[in-house]
Amino acid sequence: MDGTTSIVTGASSGIGSCLSIALADAGSTVYAVARRPGRLAELAALNDRIRPIVADLSREDDRQNLVAEVARRSGTVDVLVNNAGISRITPAVDESTADFEQILAVNLVAVFGLCRDVGRLMLAQEGGGSIINVASIVGLVGLGRMPQAAYAASKGAVVNLTRELAAQWARKGVRVNAIAPGWFDTELTAELFKTEKGTEWVNRLTPMGRAGRLEELCGPVLLLASKAGSYMTGAVIPVDGGWTAV
């Protein structure tokens, strides 16, 4: 990854922080994007290749300014990791249309907007680029017992958006893939993992018998981001301890 430029969204905690460090450790200059400047500053202190950018990705002008700023500072974008996302546990019969639309705005519309805007840069530059969307096992299978219709709908849409963009851009050198994480202890899943019952539920239903460790997402992302995955596009890789295999 030496000499490459990467953008990672949702970088202020959890998966985004871990992937930012992994890409920077591999040699990429990483523009780490989130809404919390303090968290981003702490992240940037861990590796001098990490450049923090504060942005609210639900706002189209913030997204466009982000892409323009990275292009101005680095000239190219080689890797985009769309990781930012929100979730809300609510039975579908109680979920308001406004809440549903808010989750789709962050988890789907913002992902499409960044794919499109960064994709334009990648399509115009020699060597193309790699876009990696962070979907979820909830985009592949239903859960029911943890009701989150908007989140499931958004991640299912990200899965097929990934395939469609891969098909459109494959001949032009831009690869688009996704990972589908299973259960990892992050801010989004804090309520689940803070209880013994929740942890036991994950351990019992995951074939590997445990939740994932954040660093276990780094290998698949580095594969997709680098030349090691140069013949991969349109792939959706579950990183879930076997959850979607049974």
Q: Which residues are catalytic?
A: 151
99: buried, middle or exposed (CB in 10 Å: 19+, 13-18, 0-12)? middle
CB neighbours of 68 closer than 8 A, spacing ≥ 6?
none
Q: Is the distance from CB of 120 to CB of 165 less than 8 angstroms?
A: no
Helix (H) or strand (E) holding 53: strand 50-54
Query: Which residue in this structure is represented by tokens 């840069």?
Result: 121
∠ at Cα 88 (85, 92), nearest 5°?
125
Q: Is the distance from CB of 8 to CB of 30 less than 8 angstroms?
A: yes
Q: Is the distance from CB of 149 to CB of 115 less than 8 angstroms?
A: no
- DSSP secondary structure letter of residue 213: P
Helix (H) or strand (E) holding 79: strand 79-82
Q: Is the distance from CB of 139 to CB of 117 less than 8 angstroms?
A: no
